[in-house]
Amino acid sequence: MTVCGDIHGQFYDLLNIFKINNNPGPKNKYLFNGDFVDRGSFSVECIMTLIAWKCVNKDFLHMTRGNHEARQVNLIYGFKGEVEAKFKDNGVYEAFSEFFCCLPLGYVINKKVMIVHGGLPVSDDVKLNDIRTIKRFVEPPVSGPMCDILWADPTTTPGRTPSKRGASMGFGPDISENFLKTNGLELLIRSHEVKQ
């Protein structure tokens, strides 16, 4: 499975991923790990392409919700304006917003690898079942486990630290290690940050 981080409306980058790595298929599965929209000028094209592939076969392409799949963030970073410029009907943006609320917050692959957009919940000893029971069919709250999964970032400092983003917290390597051990996992994959 190929895991792809933030696309952020970069349609030609999305096409290039499929060109380099081939289209989704039975032996070429993808997981797009949130932040499909905002910032770039082709967010509509990105999300529609991903939805179309998902409709072709639900087992070839998977998506998690990112912090940019939220109304308040879309208002600030451009997706709402893009949709309203490309579709005069306001119902289109509402449909996208409803779709975003349906996206999973994460996946566990082979019972060993957890994939979420942001990071780990602030509370210690959170179990996978606790995450599975989060009521995700809403706009993200400003605090709590859903917020953390969408917004948290790892740090090199042990423990928890204030977030550079003003939402959720930073979590140290000890927090990651404890979470993985508690849940019988080996690896956490996340996106949410630009890497050189």
Neighbours of 143 (CB within 10 A): 13
Question: Among 8, 62, 68, 117, which one carries the catalytic annotation?
Answer: 68
Specify the pairing of strand 30-33 against strand 61-64.
Answer: parallel
Specify the pairing of strand 187-189 against strand 113-116.
Answer: parallel
H or E element in which residue 55 lies = helix 43-56
Does the annotation mark 68 as catalytic? yes
What's the rounded Cα separation, in Å, for the pair 96 and 175? 34
Which residues are 63's β-sheet partners? 32
Neighbours of 146 (CB within 10 A): 21
What's the rounded Cα separation, in Å, for the pair 131 and 177? 17
Residues with Cβ within 8 Å of residue 84, at least 6 apart in sequence: 90, 93
Residues with Cβ within 8 Å of residue 184, at least 6 apart in sequence: 111, 112
What's the rounded Cα separation, in Å, for the pair 118 and 149? 5
Active site residues per annotation = 68
